[in-house]
């Protein structure tokens, strides 16, 4: 320090907002800790040299101070003092430099070799670590300014949405038309080749696997693997530097504007951005886990501890801990994070991982818990897309169909029923009727609409679509767990051979089965979600739990695109968009539209007559027709004009034999024009009403009425 340079003095500052906030002249720092006895703000230069500032101001358990002349790019962390008494749930240790839970950018990833544990490794957690632990990432002060001029959120209604689940890195990592330096990054997705591809595919929203900064578990690193999926969050405000081209160039704070530019570019392409968020647990694990942030700042505030033995954590997630959403400050943390991603980062919605954990009051899942109440009344968060993964690993955690109004849900029942149906299992006729019409058995009686059902047959967790018709058993040896990880109940059929084959008949059948899944997914009511890469036949070589495979197993192989399957997917998405009957806002009512024989929906047997109760309950029923009356929408468009559509007829059969299907003979419809046939991409057909068509074994056909 020169003689003319004044020493840096910590001013009182403000208790709000939490985190590090630059005002153009200096930075305000604010940290919540209810049980700490003292807090030190620690600034670090590029070489890691540290300068500490004891924080003396405390307002409502928020420790705060203001440093003039400190601005964007400054690295910082905290040392938090207090009792180290794990048996009472207290884990303070000032020897550990802690990450600010509200940090908007991080300087890198965790460094286990520099220490991240609050206790002495090799012992139990009762002995406090007395050596310096600097392995947690440091926070970075950011400049929040960004030129959003011209950004317009697509605001696509849920019922018109087609969601595409993808991983930021995997999507572009091998794409030949994305510049090599940008592959696997937010910037890579914002390139013209990727934007053009997504637009031409026809999806309306991209749902990213977690982008919050996460931790790579030591047990994975020891095996040469990483936590590729990222469901191990450390920071709920910072976009992960792993996916930042700017960070790779030495500018980790650049991850923030890079992410914003990706969102703006996707919006320009008419595509919404939905984030998969993990507010149910953190990367700090159980009582033997690392201390990087929350655990050392205020363990009892942020985590659910066992009441009669607070050394231990409630674990509803299978990851070691559960966030304490019963505490007002933890609720505030989650709400502040959600609001930040909507207001500052312009995202359009969230998918909540293991959302049943967030609904738990004392132990049971409570639909009216504080978490849902506070979201329901929030004027910002309540207006974006809210999607729940409606289960956790705790007792009573499977809650499909039980989330509140305004929430959509991943419909695991849809996935299982559709897989079983196309696998050839019998006795599913009535279930398929419900799934194709928006699962009214799950969502109609609580004020929700068909689009509350997020329909999917594959997702990141499990087989890809290609693998679901290629493998019946998981092949997870690459994960290093003796093939013991991942689901065993896959409800899949390999079409006669386990794994890849050169048999042309089997490969044709597999292609047809993939088309069947895509057709029923995209032509049924509800909100369809496609697993990224399924549209062109992406494989994970039979791995149904590729969470740790940051390599060619998980990355999209753009050199092996099934072009015919890709064109089929584009065609089906376009058909869905073109016909409002295929994405209704309201459930079918069964009301009569024309006379007494035609309702808004009619279910047909293969002989052209209406299905009876006996047909629905017949274990052998494996084929059906679904007629949708184009005059039966009972809805209006954005301008208030009544919606009309073509009369449509969807035929499907999971039987292995070809069937003669008699076309319905309605007075208003003289003939039927074929729009889609999963057994033949090039098929064309116009058939008179009352005549028979051949419905190939294991196939789907879609017709429209020619009046």
Catalytic positions are: 353, 389
365 beta partners:
360
With helix as H, strand as E and coil as C, how does 321-355 read?
A: CCECCCCHHHHHHHHHHHHHHHHCCCCCEEEECCH
Secondary structure class of 488 (helix, strand, coil): coil
> CA of 34: how far to CAs of 15, 59, 411, 649, 700, in Å?
13, 10, 39, 62, 60
Report the helix count and the strand count for the chain, using DSSP H and E.
17, 28
Q: Are 513 and 495 in contact (CB under 8 A)?
A: yes
If one counts every other C-beta atom within 10 angstroms of the C-beta of residue 689, the result is 18
- Which residue carries 């292609």 as its tokens? 511
Rg of the chain in Å (alpha carbons): 27
Alpha-helix residue ranges (DSSP H) falling in 2-146: none
Q: Are 429 and 423 in contact (CB under 8 A)?
A: no
Whole-number Å distance between alpha carbons of 191 and 187: 7
The DSSP secondary-structure symbol of 110 reads: -
Secondary structure class of 582 (helix, strand, coil): helix
Longest dimension (CA), the chain: 98
What residues contact 224, with CB distance under 8 A and at least 6 apart? Answer: none
With helix as H, strand as E and coil as C, how does 532-570 read?
A: CCHHHCCCCCCCCCHHHCCCCCCCCCCCCCCHHHHHHHH
Instruction: State both tokens at 258.
Output: 């890079």
The DSSP secondary-structure symbol of 643 reads: P
Instruction: State both tokens at 680.
Output: 């033949």
Instruction: State both tokens at 512.
Output: 């047809």
Q: Strand order in 75-81's β-sheet?
A: 50-55, 38-44, 75-81, 139-140
Whole-number Å distance between alpha carbons of 524 and 522: 6
CA atoms in the 13 A half-sphere facing the CB of 364: 3
Q: Are 621 and 604 in contact (CB under 8 A)?
A: no
Instruction: State both tokens at 267.
Output: 């919006």
- For the chain, the straight-line distance linking the first and the last C-alpha, in angstroms and rounded, comes to 87
Say if residue 602 is preceded by a cis peptide, omega within 30 of 0.
no
* Angle between helix 192-201 and helix 255-268 axes, rounded to 10 deg: 40
Instruction: State both tokens at 357.
Output: 């954990």
Q: Are 511 and 534 in contact (CB under 8 A)?
A: no
Q: Are 663 and 690 in contact (CB under 8 A)?
A: yes
CA atoms in the 13 A half-sphere facing the CB of 659: 24
What residues contact 329, with CB distance under 8 A and at least 6 apart? Answer: 32, 34, 61, 298, 301, 302
650 beta partners:
626, 702
């Amino acid at each position: 320090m020169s003689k003319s340079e004044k020493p840096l003095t910590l001013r009182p500052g403000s208790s709000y907002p939490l985190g590090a906030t630059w005002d153009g002249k200096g930075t305000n720092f604010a940290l919540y800790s209810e049980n700490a006895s003292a807090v030190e703000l620690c600034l670090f230069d590029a070489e890691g040299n540290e300068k500490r500032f004891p924080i003396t101001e405390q307002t409502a358990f928020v420790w705060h101070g203001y440093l003039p002349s400190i601005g964007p790019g400054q690295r910082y962390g905290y040392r938090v003092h207090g009792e180290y008494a794990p048996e009472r749930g207290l884990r303070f240790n000032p020897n550990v430099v802690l990450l600010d839970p509200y940090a908007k950018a991080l300087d890198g990833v965790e460094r286990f070799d520099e220490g991240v544990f609050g206790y002495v490794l090799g012992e139990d957690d009762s002995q406090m670590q007395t050596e310096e632990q600097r392995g947690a990432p440091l926070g970075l002060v950011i400049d929040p300014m960004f030129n959003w001029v011209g950004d317009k959120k697509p605001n696509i209604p849920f019922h018109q949405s087609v969601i595409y689940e993808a991983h930021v890195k995997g999507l572009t990592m091998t794409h030949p038309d994305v510049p090599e330096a940008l592959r696997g990054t937010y910037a890579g997705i914002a390139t013209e080749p990727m934007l053009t591809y997504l637009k031409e595919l026809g999806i309306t929203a991209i749902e990213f696997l977690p982008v919050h900064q996460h931790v790579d578990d030591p047990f994975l690193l020891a095996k040469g693997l990483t936590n590729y999926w990222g469901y191990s969050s450390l920071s709920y405000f910072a976009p992960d530097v792993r996916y930042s081209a700017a960070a790779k160039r030495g500018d980790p704070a650049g991850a923030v504007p890079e992410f914003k530019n990706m969102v703006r570019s996707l919006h320009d392409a008419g595509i919404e951005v939905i984030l998969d968020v993990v507010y149910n647990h953190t990367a700090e694990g159980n009582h033997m886990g690392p201390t990087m942030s929350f655990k050392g700042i205020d363990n009892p505030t942020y985590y659910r501890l066992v009441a009669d033995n607070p050394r231990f954590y409630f674990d509803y997630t299978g990851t070691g801990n559960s966030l304490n959403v019963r505490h007002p400050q933890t609720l505030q943390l989650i709400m502040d994070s959600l609001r930040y991603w909507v207001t500052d980062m312009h995202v359009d919605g969230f998918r909540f991982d293991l959302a049943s954990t967030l609904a738990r009051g004392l132990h049971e899942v409570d639909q009216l818990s504080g978490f849902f109440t506070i979201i329901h009344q929030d004027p910002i968060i309540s207006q974006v897309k809210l999607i729940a993964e409606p289960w956790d690993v705790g007792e009573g955690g499977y809650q499909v169909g039980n989330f509140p109004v305004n929430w959509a849900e991943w419909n695991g029942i849809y996935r299982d029923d559709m897989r079983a149906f196309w696998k050839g299992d019998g006795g599913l006729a009535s279930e398929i009727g419900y799934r194709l019409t928006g699962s009214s058995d799950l969502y109609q009686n609580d004020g929700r609409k068909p689009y509350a059902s997020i329909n999917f047959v594959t997702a990141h967790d499990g087989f890809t679509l290609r693998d679901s018709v290629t493998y019946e058993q998981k092949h997870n040896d690459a994960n290093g767990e003796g093939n013991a990880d991942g689901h065993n109940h896959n409800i899949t059929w390999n079409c006669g051979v386990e794994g890849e084959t050169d048999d042309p008949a089997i490969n044709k059948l597999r292609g047809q089965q993939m088309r069947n899944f895509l057709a029923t997914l995209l032509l049924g009511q509800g909100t369809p979600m496609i697993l990224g890469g399924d549209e062109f036949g992406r494989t994970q070589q039979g791995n149904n739990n590729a969470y740790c495979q940051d390599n060619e197993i998980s990355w999209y192989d753009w050199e092996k695109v099934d072009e015919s399957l890709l064109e089929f997917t584009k065609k089906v998405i376009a058909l869905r968009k073109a016909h409002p009957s295929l994405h209704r806002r309201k459930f079918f009512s069964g009301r009569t539209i024309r006379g007494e024989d035609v309702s808004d929906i009619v279910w047909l047997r293969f002989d052209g007559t209406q299905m009876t109760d006996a047909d629905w309950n017949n274990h052998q029923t494996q084929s059906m027709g679904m007629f949708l009356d184009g005059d039966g929408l009972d809805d209006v468009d954005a301008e208030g004009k009544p919606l009309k559509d073509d009369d449509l007829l969807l035929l499907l059969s999971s039987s292995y034999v070809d069937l003669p299907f008699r076309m319905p003979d309605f007075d208003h419809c003289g003939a039927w024009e074929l729009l889609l046939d999963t057994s033949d991409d090039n098929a064309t057909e116009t058939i008179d009403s009352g005549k028979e068509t051949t419905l190939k074994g294991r196939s789907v056909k879609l017709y429209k009425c020619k009046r």
